[in-house]
Structure 1
């Protein structure tokens, strides 16, 4: 399995001006560094929580539907990574000769309300089997809380802001501040 970012978010959960206000910076001498820190802090929060803050597109390549515990409900549902799920944009399988076959996502029930989001079979449906054993399934999907920074839950935004402050003062190698850990605890992935 591989997961590739196709389209990154168009904005960040906190703006450059908001970061500058938090750090009491009034000039533009640190703008490039702060922009980098904001992106790094968001990516760290997303990585630690397994979530997507703002709308972004991903492509997952798989060898098979099963194998990693994401095929569930007696093989009738498949869980997508990076909640919250906004949409499934394309499903493609590849034959043994590498010929692609597109499958209409509308042929499935797409559950965007569950976390993680799920692709579920309709009655008498089945997950299309690939002919190619390696990377025979591709799922293109969009995830995140929305396109506007105000769509991101406040604890995640605050965690990003505090992490930007910590990295600005201590560098990119800074450990996770206890206050950020406390904010993220409710959002961490739990695997059973």
Structure 2
């Protein structure tokens, strides 16, 4: 399944002002750098969790019908299914609401059996905890602050990606409750 970012978040979960207060930075000379660290910390956290934090628009492209008609979304948590377009040998059309619906889990879609002849399916979704920073859980916002501050304070330091010191103390504990449990 191909994933395409259509629209990134309108705001970051942690503002520049919050980060500067956390870092005790009062000048504006490094605002651009701190802002870049905030974006990078959010993106890294989203990768760690396999979830997006703030509302973002994504397109999912399927070229095979999912097993059992159920599609586990790789972009979570789901806020809405905005549009679904089906391409078959006879053309393309938008799907009706009864042809695609939420499954038993909030991150699963059910596709109607009538769609089995598809060549390609494009599903546009909006995902994230919400549209504002306040809707992102506080521990995740704190994890962004910790990581951005760590990068700011250790600029230029060659840190091993998986070695000690690569992540600030407490980071893993903050994000652990939001990680997905994967069955063995």
TM-score if structure 2 supplies the norm length?
0.85
Q: 1:111-190 residue pairs with structure 2 within 5 A?
A: 114-115=105-106, 117-120=107-110, 125-126=112-113, 128-132=115-119, 136-171=120-155, 175-190=166-181
Q: Secondary structure at 2:76's aligned position in 1?
A: coil
Q: Is the contact made by 1:93 and 1:130 (CA closer than 8 Å) also made in structure 2?
A: no
Q: Is the contact made by 1:87 and 1:110 (CA closer than 8 Å) also made in structure 2?
A: no
Q: Secondary structure at 1:171's aligned position in 2?
A: coil
Q: 2:75 aligns with which of 82, 86, 94?
A: 82
Shift of 1:78: 2.1
Q: Secondary structure at 2:45's aligned position in 1?
A: helix
Which protein is richer in helix relative to its size? 2
Q: Is the contact made by 1:94 and 1:130 (CA closer than 8 Å) also made in structure 2?
A: no
Q: Which structure 2 segments of 5+ residues have no match? A: 160-165
Partner of 1:93: 86
Shift of 1:187: 1.7
Q: Which structure 1 segments of 5+ residues have no match? A: none
* 1:176–1:102 CA distance, 2 compared to 1 (3 A): same
Separation in 2 of the partners of 1:105 and 1:171?
A: 50
Q: 1:40-51 residue pairs with structure 2 within 5 A?
A: 40-51=40-51
Shift of 1:83: 1.8
Separation in 2 of the partners of 1:84 and 1:90?
A: 17
Q: Secondary structure at 1:78's aligned position in 2?
A: strand
Q: Is the contact made by 1:90 and 1:102 (CA closer than 8 Å) also made in structure 2?
A: yes
Cα deviations across residues 117-174 of structure 1 (Å, max 9, x unaligned)? 22235xxx42613543xxx121110001111100001111110010111111123875
- Name whichever of 46-55 and 180-189 sits farther off: 180-189
Q: 1:23-62 residue pairs with structure 2 within 5 A?
A: 23-62=23-62
Q: Is the contact made by 1:88 and 1:140 (CA closer than 8 Å) also made in structure 2?
A: yes
Partner of 1:103: 95
How many residue pairs are counted as aligned between the two chains? 176
TM-score if structure 1 supplies the norm length?
0.82
